[in-house]
A and B are shown apart, each in its own frame.
Chain A
């Protein structure tokens, strides 16, 4: 074994080390990107799902399959607060009015998830148990407007004055690589439930 061989070995070790470093960094970067991209995909899907559910439900405020049973839709909103709303609608089209409540739970309920800000967005149909799944909701905020388009500030004493609603929804990934949470935001600038304006 001559001097050249020793040089070859040393050079091989250095090159091998560099390659291993590159591979390790590549693996780390690939893991991070994969984690983040998958997280963002889930995030977008969660956001679209929640937005579709909210739009579907909120557009039916005051609707009844038999309109004679609920002739004054202006009474459809029962309670309204920043992150809490109760309203009446015939969600199952059986001509009987149902009540739907949406509200945001506390962050402490999801202390098991790495994201400290995510919360459960609850949907309560009539007197059934509240339903929720962790979709990474961090903000569910509503702003209410009266017939002249002016903002109504909570506490709203006469819910019948509400004619349109702004819905703000923020969603974050429930877990993230190196705590770099992705976030997405959806806003329905003016959701007008048409039945609130009937007659």
Chain B
């Protein structure tokens, strides 16, 4: 009798232990499964992102790269990468990277677009000596310099800032650290082309408007017309730009351009030099502005590129002694943007720039003392936000791509 009871007791306890241990085992298994699922998804994601980075790097190194990769073993999983040209005209490319790990697949998509210098609010190869960006300096769009970025009392950079060389503080980080509101990267090498303006000639020959054989060209944009002459007192010749320059490029070969007017439409003016002294320079004789200011008319399509092989200078003349308004992206391949006789000309008000400045060497526009402006101009530079996605026709490109969208 007692033996039977003992047997029942043991069997009862065994049953209870079996149920409880099975339950515990099940809980443990599900906990491990939960961890493994998260780990699997994370590794698949990491493989996909790594693949996207590898492909983007390949395209940065070789802009024609579009081979992709098939079933490449990576981190105990596989990586598949394809490159698709979304827009052949604009050369927009999309990298699709799939990372697969233990049956789980994650996809990352990266869109790349050709990079134009016109996107910069400010670009320089050389900062023209030891010039400090100070507390009164604010840059509203993308910034790049191949030189050092010298900071004094917290200058502000609202767009992404990149430099090839390092960041230098006037005193120390605490008192001088710049405010980078769009991010900052150091060690980015983005050289200025050496023959981008010369290369415009062939494009102008194709479907643009070319002027050559004269030392100086006086140009006035008159909305969708262009008035030009070759001497100060000569009579203007007028051309209707949509017919004369269907591709939007106006090219003045080996001369000096004296420019002003109102621009309607999208145009780039190129001015080259065949090593002649003073040639390849664009002088701004008066305001050069859009027909429709995008700050007032947000749907404005007006864009202007002012591309000089040497410099773009604000003329020292009567109209420019009380402010100058400039709408456009300024490109100076070998020189810089500055004011003619900046240190002897009278106080001339403000440079009201809407656009960007891309220059080889930073130039001065005025001088200051403890009382403020002494000669020349004060800077009032505003970035044209449209340049983030649009550029004047045939504006010099960096030769590479930039990431415009990242999905993961």
Contacts and interface: CB of A to CB of B under 8 A. Distances in A.
Interface of A: 19, 26, 30, 33-34, 37-38, 40-41, 44-45, 48, 51-52, 59-60, 63-65, 67-68, 71-72, 74, 146-148, 150, 158, 160-161, 163, 194-199
A199 B404 contact: yes
Given A48-B34, A63-B407, A74 B182 contact: yes
- Mostly, the B contact residues are mixed
B180 A146 contact: yes
Contacts of A34: 20, 23-24, 27
B177 A148 contact: yes
Given A63-B407, A146-B180, A197-B183, A74 B160 contact: yes
Contacts of A71: 385, 388-389, 404
Interface string B21-41: 001100110110011011001
Contact of A60 (B34, B35, B180, B407): B407
B405 interface: yes
A199 B403 contact: yes
Interface residues of B, number: 40
Contact of B142 (A41, A147, A148, A199): A199
A111 to B, nearest CB: 29
B406 interface: yes
A51 B37 CA distance: 12
B184 A147 contact: yes
A67 B111 contact: yes
Contact of B160 (A44, A63, A199): A199
B24 A33 contact: yes
A33 B37 CA distance: 25
B65 interface: no
Interface in B133-180: 142, 158-161, 177, 179-180
Contact of A63 (B28, B38, B180, B405): B405
A191 to B, nearest CB: 12
Contact of B31 (A26, A40, A74, A160): A40
A38 to B, nearest CB: 6
Contacts of A68: 389
Contact of A74 (B177, B183, B405): B183
A45 B30 CA distance: 9
Interface string B365-390: 00000000000000000000100110
Contacts of A26: 16
B71 interface: no
Interface of B: 9, 16, 20, 23-24, 27-28, 30-31, 34-35, 37-38, 41, 111, 113, 119, 142, 158-161, 177, 179-185, 385, 388-389, 402-408
Given A51-B38, A63-B407, A199-B160, 16 more contacts: A34-B24, A41-B27, A41-B30, A44-B34, A45-B34, A48-B34, A48-B38, A52-B41, A64-B405, A72-B385, A74-B158, A74-B159, A147-B184, A161-B181, A195-B405, A198-B404
Contacts of B113: 67
B180 to A, nearest CB: 4
Contacts, number: 103
Given A26-B16, A48-B38, A72 B27 contact: no
Given A30-B20, A48-B37, A148-B184, A63 B406 contact: yes
A19 B9 contact: yes
15 contacts: A34-B27, A37-B27, A40-B27, A45-B30, A48-B38, A63-B406, A63-B407, A67-B389, A74-B158, A146-B180, A147-B161, A198-B160, A198-B403, A199-B142, A199-B160
Nearest to B41: A52
A6 to B, nearest CB: 17
B160 A37 contact: no
B31 A41 contact: yes
B406 A74 contact: no
Contacts of A67: 111, 113, 389, 404-405
A147 B119 CA distance: 20
Contacts of B35: 44, 48
Contacts of A198: 160, 402-406
Contacts of A19: 9
A45 B28 CA distance: 12
Contacts of A52: 38, 41
Given A63-B407, A161-B181, A195-B405, A72 B388 contact: yes
A158 B179 contact: yes
Contacts of A197: 160, 183, 185
Contacts of B385: 71-72
A41 B29 CA distance: 10
Given A74-B160, A147-B184, A161 B408 contact: no
Contacts of A146: 180
Nearest to B12: A23
B221 to A, nearest CB: 26
B158 A160 contact: yes
B183 A147 contact: yes
A168 B266 CA distance: 50
